[in-house]
Structure 1
Amino acid sequence: MAITTGEQLSKESESRFAEGVPNERIDAEEWDDIYVVGDVHGCRAELETLLERLDVSEDDLVVFVGDLVRKGPDTEGVLDIVRERPNLVSVRGNNEAKILRGETDLDLSEANAEFVRSLPVALSWAGALVVHGGVDPRRDLRDHSVNDLLNMRAPHADEEYVGPLWYDEYDGETTVFTGHTVHERPHDADGGVALDTGCVHGGALTAYDWDREEFVAVSAEETYVERSADKVVRLDGDESVFR
């Protein structure tokens, strides 16, 4: 069953990942609202502002696309917020993977280190899949490794930030939410949603309201890490509509 077929990622197939890919299934009926949030990268102040803006209750679920950590000013603070609230969950990002491989100088508390180790690579519910990087629409979901799902950007392009990006060829029935690739604004490409709007680089922290089908964003308080313009995806067309 190829990812681009009409049955792609159907309710029966969403959990069919390759062996060794940690994944979890969510029952969306248990929650009043579901929000999916882009890369936080240690931007605790912006995360607190966004959660307040969303007015998240204990009956709402907030799902993060990974990369809660590194680059920004308060990785521990961000992890504390997500770890301590049972209605906040996250997938693993490539920056969490770097921590797990011992490739960073972050010295996390034991509680947060254990939390990072516990993160799945994929979360799904009926009609939705959350991974950090993306999927290759030309390949079966079962043929995606952990590394694929963490780092997918433009699997068939010579230049990653020029594209075509993974979602340009995606036509599945399931909405796939991702971060990883910095965009000037959030993008919904017929079921492929890009949510990394570069908060740590002075952009915005963006959420997608699953029930209302709209984006909600708060601006970064400052630019914590500079990023070159050629490492940001520029989008044609009308600006995204925010709440």
Structure 2
Amino acid sequence: MSLFNEPGLLSFAIDFANGKLTEEEYIKNRTGNPPWTEARELRIKNHMLFIQYLGRLSPKNRRKAISASQNITQADLMTLIPCGDSTASALIANGTHKVGLEILARYALINRITFSTAKSPAASYEYNLNLFDMFDDLGIDYIVKGSLNEALQAMESHWCVKGCVIRQFGVNDIHLRIERKLNFTIVDILKHQKWSFDAVALELSKQPGYWGYFEYPSVYHNEHFMVFVGGIDKETTTKFTDSQVIGKVRLFDLSSMFGGK
């Protein structure tokens, strides 16, 4: 039984990932099929093969696959970057509009990937924080604060994604991806370590409402993001998280780290 309405999509993606098809052959075989639905299915069913699959795609097709695997649409990108329809189409559809470096940098942050993954023909299999250097070089605003509470206060109330650096005296910087959506807040620690997880967890435990956390696999080898999700209560936050993530994750109560129930 096919996993899709159109037969063969996943098998084409697997054959391409394993080098049995060229990119030209793969794209030709999937012409007329739903837009990259197999990318999400492959990411859910075989994460390591999905990484290999991305590495063989050209930058534009790679962006199509990454966004499709996360259900991010052209309309979403127009809101989050923000940009016009022709630019969003050039990022993940069939538009021919030239995409600037600033747009690619914002796209990379939204999709939890590096700048080189968004732009370079040769995909890197290692995650890094060079995107923040790109922000500096391109003059892109991102949040720099002394505490996470200050950073959260600096976020807009509408749907948005921001890069953030928490800079505290005598402590290494903590790099974050912060998203506000539908009255929920999502905080990713990028290149997390135990000390940065503990620091962010402690700060978020002081925030109102319910906070949960989970470990989320990236599209890079041996790299996971620690993700915190905050909302009004556990039930609605769990439902929201389930609707946003790829596959299944277990949401742990942040309060349990600090003696809560």
Structure with the largest fraction of helix: 2
Same fold (TM over 0.5): no
TM-score when normalising by structure 2: 0.29
Structure of greater Rg: 2
